[in-house]
Structure formats: structure tokens, C-alpha cells
Chains A and B, each alone.
Chain A
């Protein structure tokens, strides 16, 4: 049936009134309120239970215990600590121990991991096979077991102090850890340090100037010898002129034990060894996949432009591989730091171990575990903020 032409054409249907409970905004708010309510209820229930329990078991609450005398000794520490010091100081000692082993571990794991990652890509069959064997073994065995293993090897298999090994002159390795020479401090060394610092600044300025000249004229920068000269000559001259004593305190055997020099405990050594060896396996895989992740065309293009192999790697391949490598490596660094908490299993006094001891002594589980978790969380967030910043800096600038 034809409609009469005179009738105006219908444009849109009059909007049907949408029921308010079908409005997506309203539903969103309702859903959030519901979830929030449920979470709040659960939290309230747990808090209520906890308060009742704490009261019943007569456990004190609050952080006042931090100022009390800790009453336990800590085997090794960066700052001085005695049982008469407070719990707060004990926590600081634990944190410093955690940071110490993590930082050294990160450096060692990176060096070892990069070497092994490149080794897996080597055209040398033997090297590639050995590197992949390393990766397959370290990655597939729990870290805790590796720690127990190294700790046992150090404390049981190594010779006693009397027959200690000396892998390098001055370095003493035995059941009771590693001892090594340290520089004896003397006030007259300060001018030398200042001169060294100034030389470093000069070297940086020189390098910038050479790079600028290279950009402007294309002249190859002369870097190695001049920089070596800038770094070494003034310091050597100053040393000869001032005659500041540069003596090492070398561990020496005296009746029962080695004395002098610096030392690390077997616990620290085992933890450092285990963490570095374990994490290096993961970093090796990241490095390998990062280098493989740069398209082959980049290598060919740089060869076509006439770059030498070393320059190809340094200027074309590695900068691009680094973009792939950095983010997962960051999370490996974080993992290493968190894994250092396994120290408690072999008796290295890290943060977890100190928190555990304090917990057993005071009974204030919530506070001790809370402090420990808060500290780890802050370390994690700090490292990831820094790495995000670094990552942004080296990220691809798209035009």
C-alpha cells in the first residue's frame, strides 16, 4: 500500500526510553560499588578476626618494638651491629645485606649471562653446545636446590683454613669463606682520588670533542691512547711526587686463621654464586633472543653500506637488540633481588632472615612481615621506575 506523498518521511524512531538499569554508565558504577562492597566486607571480616585473635593471644600491636633492644647477633653486616642495638637497626642491617648481595649478583649475572648468550650464538659448535648445556641445566633446577648445593660444596668440600686454596695471590678460599686483599686507607690518598676524578671529567670532555669533530668532518676519532694517557699520567705523576702509600692489607696465616684483608662468609659466597649462576642462565636466553630478534636485513644492509663486522655489531645490531633485551632483563634483576630472600634457607642474614628472627622473638607477625613486604615492594617499584625511564630513553624515536 503506497503511502500518500504528502506525509513527511519518518527520519528516526523516537528514542525508546532506556531503563536506567540498562544504562552502561549506571551499570558500571553499580558493578564497581558491588565489587568494592564485597572486598570491603571481606577485609572488615579479616581485620575483625585478627583483632579478636590478637587480643585473645595477648600479642602486642604497633611498631614500638622497633626501638627495643634486639638481643640477637647478626653474623655479618655492612654497618656495625651488636645485640644491644634496636630492632630497627637490625632491619636496616638486613636490608643492606640484601642490597649488597643483589647488587653484586646483578653485575656478575649480567656479565656471565651476556657472555653465555653470545656463546650460544657462536659459530663455534663446541662453544655453542657448552653454552646451551649451561642454560638448560641452570634454568631447569630450582634455585633453592642450587643454593643448598653450593653451600654444601663450600662448607664441606672446600679445604679447611689450614690448607686453604689460593686461586690468585692474596685471595684465600676455604671452608670459612673467601678472604681478599684490600687497600689500606691513608689520608694522603685523597689528593690522588681528586686528581683521578678530574682526569675522568677531562676524558669525558675529550671524548665529546672528538665525537663532535667526527660528526662535522668525518675524521675517525682517536680515543684509546689519548684517554688512557689522560686517565693514567696525572695520577702516576702525582703519586710519584706526593709518595702517598699504596699498600694492600693481604690476608696472612697466623697460628689458627687467616687475618687481615677483606672477607666474605661462606653463606654470602654460596648465595652470590647461586643467584648469579641461576640468573645468568635466564639473561643468556634474553640476550640470545634479543640479538636474533634484530632482522637479518639489518646485518645485510649495514654490510652493503661497508661497515666492518665489529662496527656492524656496535652501531647497527646491538643498539636495536638492546631495545628487545632491556625490559625482560629488568624483570630478571627484580627476580634476582626477590630471590635473594632464599638467603634465609642457608643462614645469610638478609632482610627476610632478620624479619623471621624478629618475628619469632616478638611474636608480632603482622608488623614484621608487613615491614619486609613493604621494603621489597619499594625496591621493586624503584627498580621498575628506573628501568622504565631508561627504556623510554633508548626506545625507538619514530618520525
Chain B
């Protein structure tokens, strides 16, 4: 089509104030008087808080020191505390010369967790990965075989203990929680009542009361003369606790399945267990995976409560490290260090769960 304008004027460039850095500032920080006010207010706040914080954290901080006096002389944080005490914080009272064992065991657990994040492993292989990871961990920690000296569980501590409580907790709670979730949706009234009772009872009380129960009442439940290890007792409490929460998550997955799936399975002549195993659970568990990861994050944080019943996990090991009168005053550095450890684990797990939610939901819609 012929143009009626001989020399069309080139389009004018947008006003300077709406493109580039200036444009970004205008749309994101200064759109309207209210947002401008907020921006100025928060910038002032940051200018007031951040520089002294950075000074304390980095610029005036002491990273290496021969004695705590150097830290006391400085204005900044005393990261030297972490450098001096990191073995105690990370591994608790595990024999000093043998601490490569909890280190390798911990790495095995982390490798196991990373391998389970890969969706290609979401099948029978997962079982082998967990069996392998956990056995490597226990052989290394406990010793007594392959020429490793045996180490009592009362000496286990620090990060490996924290990881162990969380991983075994989730792994052992998983089958129980599937049974509980199925039981809660069963149409047999007695079984349903038992499952509902268990789930609501456990979810209604704080974990700390279960831990107290495990440490004071479990010994009474056992036949005379049988004593259970303190670590095992806490582990049992954590499993009981995790099973109830996981059961609710899995029930959510079960409820999300359309009724047609059950009817189709009935039409195929499958019995109850075959229906669950072949039709219902594979789909329901897939839906439930992101919330399962979230439950795991919660459980990982909750393992810190075992410090209250005197298990030397990461938290109690840190408090023991702070018990040294020479370094007692550097509690903020100590707490920040382990907060950072917990934070890294939880942050990446929550990012992973968000990623899963995205990926799994698109594949379902396709």
C-alpha cells in the first residue's frame, strides 16, 4: 500500500524519565507520593542500620586470634571463636581423632539427599539410595566393624546428629504415615477412629511434650532391665511426631484425586490394596511431594528441640562451646554461625520445593 506521507517522521524516543535507570526508579521506587515516602523512609533506615552492621560483621571483625583477648580488644565480631570451636560445634563430643567419620557420614547423608532430589531417581532406586546412605552413615558413626573403633551414641553430636534425626525421622515416618492417611480415609469406622485419634492427638500437643514423654516415660514402658538409648528415644519421638504431620499431607494428596480413579480401579476388578498400590498412591504421592518437602524442612528445624532433652545436636554443641569461660561472651557470633548453617539447608530445600511445585504442576496440566 502506498504511503501518503513522503517523509514519515521517525517515532520519537520515549521521554527520558520513563526508560533506563531513571524509568526503573520511577516505576519501582517513586510511583506516587506514598511510595516515594516509603522509599525515602526505608533508605534512611538502611543507611542507619547497614553500615554499622557491616563494620561489625566484616570490617572490624577478627577472623583469626590466638586468644580471646584479641577479640575483646576489637570492635567487630569475633569470628575467631568459630575458627577455634568449629570442631566442637559441628561434631559435638565425638572423639577428636575420629572426627573424619562423622564428616564422611554427614557427606553421605547429604549426597543421599541430593540424589533423591533428582526426579529420575523417583522409583525403586530411591530405596537403595537411602539404604546405602544410611548404612554408610551408621557404620561410620557407630564403628565396631571394618577395624573402626566403636563409638557410643552418647558421644554422637553436632550437625551429623541433627541430620540423622531429620532423615531417619522422615524415612521411618513415611510408611507409617501412608497407613495412617489411608486409615483416615477408610470406611471402616474403627480403623478410621484410631487413625483420626492418633493424628489429632499428636498434632494437638507440642513436640517438646513428646520428647519429654520419650525421655521420661518410654523407659517405664519397657520390660524391666531393658534400657533404650537416649538418641533412640528422641528419634522415636521424632518419628511419632513426623508420622502424624506427614499423614495429613498425604491425605491432602489423596483428597486431590478425582473419584473416577477409584471407580475405574473398581471397574478393573482391583482389590483395595492393589487399587491403592497401583492407581491411587502413585498419583497421590506425586501431588504430595512439594508439601512433603515442606514438612521435612519443618522437621529439620524441629530437631533442634532435642537440645532441651540434653542431646548434643548442633544447638546444644554450640551452647557447650559457649560454656568455655574464655569465649562465653561471643554468643551472638556462635548463634549466627549455626543460624547460617540451618538457614542454608532450609533455604535451598524451600527453593527446591518451590521448583518442584512449578515443574509438577505444569506436567499435570499438559
Contacts and interface: CB of A to CB of B under 8 A. Distances in A.
Nearest to A156: B331
Mostly helix, strand, loop or mixed at chain A's interface? helix
> Most chain-A CB neighbours within 10 Å: which of B208, B331, B346?
B208
Given A127-B38, A342-B305, A145 B221 contact: no
Nearest to B303: A142
A100 to B, nearest CB: 17
A7 interface: no
B307 A345 contact: yes
Given A36-B190, A141-B346, A53 B28 contact: no
Contacts of A136: 347
A253 B272 CA distance: 74
Contact of B224 (A52, A352, A366, A377): A52
Interface in A37-92: 39, 46, 49-50, 52-54, 56
A123 B331 CA distance: 38
B305 A144 contact: yes
B258 interface: no
A50 B332 contact: no
Contacts of B35: 122-124, 127
Interface string A106-132: 000000000000000011111100100
Contacts of B149: none
Interface residues of B, number: 53
B28 A124 contact: yes
Most B C-beta atoms less than 10 A away, residue of A142, A143, A338: A142
A124 B209 contact: no
A99 to B, nearest CB: 14
Contact of A369 (B42, B212, B319): B212
A127 B187 CA distance: 51
A126 B36 CA distance: 11
Given A56-B224, A143-B301, A345 B308 contact: yes
B311 to A, nearest CB: 13
Contacts of B308: 144, 342, 344-345
Interface string B170-204: 00000000000000000111110010000011011
A365 B212 CA distance: 9
Contacts of B187: 28
A376 B205 contact: yes
B350 interface: yes
B220 A140 contact: no
Interface stretch (A147-155, A266-274, A292-300): A147-155
Given A53-B220, A149-B332, A369-B216, A341 B206 contact: yes
A312 interface: no
B217 A365 contact: yes
A373 interface: yes
A380 B202 CA distance: 11
Most buried by B among A56, A355, A359, A372: A372
B216 A377 contact: no
Contact of A145 (B209, B315, B350): B315
B257 interface: no
A126 B43 CA distance: 8
Given A140-B346, A144-B304, A145-B339, A377 B205 contact: yes
Nearest to A32: B190
A365 B309 CA distance: 14
A315 interface: no
B29 A366 contact: no
Given A54-B220, A123-B35, A149-B335, A376 B209 contact: yes
B279 interface: no
Contact of B304 (A53, A145, A369, A381): A145
A265 interface: no
A112 to B, nearest CB: 16
Contact of A381 (B204, B219, B301, B346): B204
A365 B216 contact: yes
Residue of B29, B31, B335 contacting most chain A CB atoms (<10 Å): B335
A222 to B, nearest CB: 26
Contacts of A372: 205, 209, 212
Contacts of B63: none
A53 B226 CA distance: 11
A342 B220 contact: no
A124 to B, nearest CB: 5
20 contacts: A31-B188, A32-B188, A32-B189, A32-B191, A36-B190, A49-B223, A122-B38, A124-B28, A124-B31, A136-B347, A141-B339, A141-B343, A145-B304, A145-B339, A338-B206, A344-B308, A369-B216, A372-B209, A372-B212, A376-B209
Interface of A: 28, 31-32, 35-36, 39, 46, 49-50, 52-54, 56, 122-127, 130, 136-137, 139-146, 148-149, 152-153, 156-157, 338-339, 341-342, 344-345, 352, 355-356, 359, 365-366, 369, 372-373, 376-377, 380-381
